[in-house]
């Protein structure tokens, strides 16, 4: 790699939020059509379901509530396409991993508030052998029209224009392991693979903007391992923007180099970390109702709609931030926050509902589960159950003695 620095330039492969919104996108393939591999493999799946989007960039869920991504991606809510699940991030949990003591890598990890329902991944503790075929998956750019670049003097490079697309995986061989891929204030030991148009592998691929944070996988005798997290593309010096060319390279953080740090942070559990991860006002076991033990990876409770970490009623508000939730044990859409006129008085909920109607005077709070006064006093409930025995006792007392 050192011999290439003079003619190659490094670019991060993130789409920043100032870029116009684009559809979910993909690894560019050097196959005949370039449209393959945009769905979960029917056999021998490496970890498709664990890929998600944070903004316009990729994150990789490794299990125990933790995700890995490139350091320049940043923390935020994650959308998992499989199941169309959005999971909030624990904003206080982000950790930047170090390439060496005091030197940050372009690699970070952070926790999710709720269980996204994905299987855990095995993080590699040793790098793949040189020449090994790896699977690279992300949400970068799809392949557009063929193009070329003819810089002053030889050589001449063929390639493609960036397009739009979808999640996709490709393959490439490990060319080298570089200790010191330098980014903006970071240095990252990386797995490096070169893009060739003669298809050195069946689905020869190259990363593009949006692939940052995507996973790189290698199949060992024991099964698939997550060996890398994509963070940069190494291009030709002077190469025009918006294209990929032969001999471009993808760099992914070598996770075996960071394995001990990852394991250390992955062992931290939400129910014993000293913070209120789900924002319900309670922290850890036994105070948080979502914690059944100190070893729980999530403070949320999947069986409680006001404590599961999801927007169950579709109003854009989650759990205790939802006016329908008076406590973590409540429901997100009680009668006074369900957008319905439950008692037929022409008035809706505590705020008039989403249509801007008149608020129901019986709904002084959103988490009340009754819009009418019926049942509020002595009706057909516990009050009546208590009154009936009392009336019976009074009746027996008034009976004449014979």
Instruction: With CA atoms as reference, report the closest residue to 47 among 256, 266, 214, 249.
Output: 214
Query: Regarding predicted confidence, which is higher, 390 or 362?
Result: 362
Share of the chain above pLDDT 70, in %: 85
Mean local confidence (pLDDT), 379-386: 34
User: Is pLDDT at 130 greater than 60 in this prediction?
Assistant: yes
pLDDT in tens, 172-192: 999 999 999 998 899 999 999
Using CA atoms, how far apart are residues 281 and 288, in angstroms rounded to an integer?
Answer: 8
How many residues belong to the chain? 402
Residue 252 is predicted with a pLDDT of 96
Using CA atoms, how far apart are residues 299 and 113, in angstroms rounded to an integer?
Answer: 7
Residue 128 is predicted with a pLDDT of 98
Mean local confidence (pLDDT), 276-288: 92
Residue 32 is predicted with a pLDDT of 73
Which band of pLDDT confidence, cut at 50, 70 and 90, is reported for residue 10? low
Using CA atoms, how far apart are residues 320 and 299, in angstroms rounded to an integer?
Answer: 13
Cβ(52)–Cβ(81) below 8 Å: yes
How far does CA 165 lie from the centroid of its chain?
A: 19
Residue 391 is predicted with a pLDDT of 38
Share of the chain above pLDDT 90, in %: 48
pLDDT in tens, 210-229: 789 999 999 999 999 999 99
Which band of pLDDT confidence, cut at 50, 70 and 90, is reported for residue 314? confident
| Domain residue extents for the chain | 2-265, 334-402
Mean local confidence (pLDDT), 57-85: 95
Residue 14 is predicted with a pLDDT of 53
Q: What is the mean pLDDT of the chain?
A: 82
Residue 16 is predicted with a pLDDT of 36
Q: Which two tokens stand for residue 66?
A: 């933790």
Ranking 20-29, 52-61, 201-210, 380-389 by mean pLDDT, the lowest is 380-389
Using CA atoms, how far apart are residues 116 and 79, in angstroms rounded to an integer?
Answer: 10
Query: Regarding predicted confidence, which is higher, 346 or 141?
Result: 346
Mean local confidence (pLDDT), 182-205: 90
Mean local confidence (pLDDT), 17-33: 48
Of 2.30.29.30, 2.40.10.120, 3.30.70.250, 3.40.50.1860, which CATH number belongs to 2-265?
2.40.10.120
Q: Phi/psi at 166 (nearest 5 deg)? A: -160, 175
Residue 178 is predicted with a pLDDT of 95
Query: Regarding predicted confidence, which is higher, 148 or 332?
Result: 148
């Amino acid at each position: 790699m050192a011999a290439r620095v003079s003619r190659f330039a490094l670019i991060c492969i993130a789409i920043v939020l100032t870029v116009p919104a684009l559809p979910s996108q993909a690894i560019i393939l050097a196959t005949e059509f370039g449209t393959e591999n945009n769905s979960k493999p029917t056999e021998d799946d490496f970890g498709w379901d664990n890929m998600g989007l944070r903004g316009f960039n990729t994150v990789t869920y490794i299990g125990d509530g933790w995700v890995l991504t490139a350091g320049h991606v940043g923390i935020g809510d994650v959308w998992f396409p499989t199941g169309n699940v959005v999971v909030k991030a624990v904003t206080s949990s982000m950790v930047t991993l170090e390439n060496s003591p005091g030197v940050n890598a372009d690699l970070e990890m952070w926790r999710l508030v709720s269980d996204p329902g994905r299987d855990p991944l095995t993080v590699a503790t040793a790098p793949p052998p040189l020449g090994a075929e790896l699977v690279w998956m992300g949400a970068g750019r799809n392949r557009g029209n063929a193009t070329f670049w003819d810089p002053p003097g030889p050589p001449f490079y063929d390639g493609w224009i960036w397009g739009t697309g979808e999640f996709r995986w490709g393959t490439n061989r490990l060319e080298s392991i570089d200790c010191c891929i330098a980014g903006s204030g970071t240095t990252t030991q990386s797995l490096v693979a070169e893009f060739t148009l003669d298809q050195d592998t069946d689905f020869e691929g190259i990363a593009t903007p949006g692939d940052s944070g995507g996973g790189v996988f290698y199949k060992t005798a024991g099964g698939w391992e997550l060996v890398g997290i994509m963070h940069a593309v190494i291009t030709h010096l002077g190469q025009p923007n918006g294209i990929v060319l032969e001999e471009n390279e993808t760099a992914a953080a070598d996770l075996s180099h960071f394995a001990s740090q990852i394991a250390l942070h992955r062992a931290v559990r939400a129910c014993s970390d000293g913070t209120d991860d789900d924002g319900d006002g309670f922290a850890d076991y036994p105070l948080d109702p979502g914690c059944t033990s100190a070893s729980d990876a999530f403070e949320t409770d999947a069986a409680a709609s006001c404590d599961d970490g999801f927007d169950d009623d579709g109003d854009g508000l989650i759990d205790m931030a939802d006016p329908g939730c008076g406590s973590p044990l409540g429901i997100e859409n009680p009668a006074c926050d369900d957008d319905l006129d439950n008692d037929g008085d022409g008035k809706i909920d505590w705020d008039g509902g989403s249509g801007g109607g008149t608020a129901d005077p019986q709904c002084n709070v959103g988490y009340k589960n009754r819009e009418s006064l019926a049942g509020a006093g002595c009706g057909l409930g516990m009050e009546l159950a208590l009154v009936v025995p009392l009336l019976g006792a009074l009746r027996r007392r008034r009976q004449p003695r014979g």
